[in-house]
Amino acid sequence: MSRKLAAVIATSTAAVLVFGSLIALAVGRSNPPQPTVASNVTPMSPTPTPTPTGGDTGPGKGGADPDKSPGTPVGNPTAAAAAGNKKVLFFSFDDGPDPVWTPRILQVLAKHGAHATFFELGKMQAEHPGLREQILAAGNTIGSHSITHPQLTAIPAAKRHHEIFDGPTSKCFRPPYGASNPKVRADIKAAGMVQVLWDVDPRDWARPGTQAIVNNILHHAHRRNIILMHDGGGERSQTVAALDKVLRILKSQGYTFPAMNC
């Protein structure tokens, strides 16, 4: 569980490579995977190769995420070799914890013997005590998604520091909207965390319909990818229903779903 990967990525491609490295590091361990990192990352466990893609559309923001790049998961060859190219997928849920949706997602994960990583907002944690413990008790992990979900690349340094250093306790940090830059990455690293993005964004936050979310994931997910979904920021019944469907299908294809080592 230590983060250790120091990868520097300047471009999204680089980001992908980084992820791969993380994975490689993680692979040797018994822990779960690790997140995607954009820049200096230190991965922790066995892991994923994420590609930052989509937009994490946070609560209230619609659509335009800076970081929506369709992820093309490319893995770092070294990492892939180390990882053994196992059929694992890393599901992640942003913008919670939410008293209605988080428990429902936990139920679906448990039903399929799956685990995931929840990138939480400090504000939501404070408003809904107890959910964090519930998530962890079920064998999942928690990442930080800042305190109030600001676009970290567009706020003053002091505010940025506060959002990164004083948010949820974790070894993984996913910047809102996937919006990052060297200053953001430096703060994340200084706070003792690694930046974790994602490879597949099925855009569940836009509520395109359960089947559209399912199809998007099935068409884009490759082994060791990190998949972005949301347990907060709005009505998530489509996310819950889609998760139930994709886990059943992917499980039948031989995939397993570990939580990232955060």
Under the rule (CB under 5 A), what is the footprint of Zn ion?
A: 56, 58, 94-95, 176
Residue nearest to Zn ion (CB): 58
The token pair that represents 67 in the structure block: 């970081």
Residue 87 phi, psi dihedral angles, 5° rounding:
-85, 80
CB contact at 8 A, 27 and 82: yes
Is 230 annotated in the active site? yes
Q: Based on CB atoms, which residue is closest to Zn ion, 66 or 258?
A: 66
Choosing from 145, 149, 162, 230, the catalytic residue is 230
Q: Smallest gap, in angstroms, from Cβ of residue 218 to Zn ion?
A: 23
Q: Based on CB atoms, which residue is closest to Zn ion, 38 or 83?
A: 38
Q: Smallest gap, in angstroms, from Cβ of residue 65 to Zn ion?
A: 9
Q: Smallest gap, in angstroms, from Cβ of residue 232 to Zn ion?
A: 8
Among 93, 180, 99, which Cα is nearest to 141's? 93
Q: What is the largest CA-CA distance in the chain?
A: 48
Whole-angstrom distance, CA of residue 187 vs CA of residue 49: 22
Q: Based on CB atoms, which residue is closest to Zn ion, 24 or 37?
A: 37
Q: Smallest gap, in angstroms, from Cβ of residue 174 to Zn ion?
A: 7
Is 56 annotated in the active site? no
Choosing from 56, 65, 67, 94, the catalytic residue is 94
Q: Based on CB atoms, which residue is closest to Zn ion, 20 or 150?
A: 150
Q: Smallest gap, in angstroms, from Cβ of residue 230 to Zn ion?
A: 7
Q: Based on CB atoms, which residue is closest to Zn ion, 63 or 113?
A: 63
Catalytic residues: 94, 230
